[in-house]
């Protein structure tokens, strides 16, 4: 058996699927794009997925058994981004590079949102990452900030097993 088959042997391709589906559903909620003025584009949708996913990961980081869930959730993200890039029409030769770039973007956003939450404001991180430096109306940024921070706080009350099942507030 080749090394690549051993790498994926026993991997549960459906691990964290309910949780990932819940993240995607939350990121697609119309209020982000209407009240929050997040651009309803491929980039804007990616940015909202990354923001919502980051809030879940930040919650899971505080959980003793959260690391395996983070790993499974990240695998789902990679699988989804791979499929999205292929659907757009990128060939096999560049898919890995694009997905790697997206993972780097997610990591950067995770750090920015972690710092923003610790500092008590996400505004700068949101303008840089969700709006790609083009600040919309202050009310739009406030909408996204307030919804994300309130939801992030509500996640603290949800037990790990419920999060794994995708039962998000």
What is the phi-psi region of residue 111: left when phi exceeds 0, alpha when psi lies from -120 to 50, beta otherwise? alpha
Per-residue confidence in pLDDT tens, the chain, 169 aa: 444 444 444 556 677 999 999 999 999 999 999 999 999 988 899 899 999 999 999 999 999 999 999 999 988 887 777 666 666 666 566 556 655 676 777 888 999 999 999 999 999 999 999 999 999 999 999 999 999 999 999 999 999 999 999 999 9
**135 falls within a domain:** yes
Domain that holds residue 61: 15-163
For residue 120, what are the contacts with CB-CB under 8 A and spacing of at least 6?
none
Structural domain count of the chain: 1
pTM of the entire predicted model: 0.85
Using CA atoms, how far apart are residues 32 and 113, in angstroms rounded to an integer? 17
**52 falls within a domain:** yes
**168 falls within a domain:** no
If you count them, how many residues does the chain have?
169
**4 falls within a domain:** no
């Amino acid at each position: 058996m080749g090394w690549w088959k051993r790498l994926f042997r026993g991997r549960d391709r459906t691990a964290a699927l309910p949780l990932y589906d819940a993240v995607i559903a939350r990121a697609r909620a119309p209020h982000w794009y209407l009240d929050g003025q997040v651009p309803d584009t491929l980039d804007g949708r990616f940015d909202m997925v990354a923001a919502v996913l980051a809030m879940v990961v930040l919650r899971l980081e505080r959980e003793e058994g959260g690391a395996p869930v983070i790993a499974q959730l990240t695998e789902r993200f990679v699988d989804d981004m791979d499929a999205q890039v292929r659907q757009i029409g990128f060939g096999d030769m560049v898919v890995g590079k694009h997905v790697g770039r997206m993972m780097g973007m997610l990591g950067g956003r995770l750090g920015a949102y972690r710092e923003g939450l610790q500092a008590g404001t996400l505004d700068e991180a949101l303008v840089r990452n969700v709006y790609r430096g083009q600040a919309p109306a202050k009310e739009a940024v406030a909408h996204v900030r307030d919804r994300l921070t309130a939801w992030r706080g509500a996640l603290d009350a949800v037990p790990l097993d419920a999060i794994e099942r995708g039962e998000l507030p």
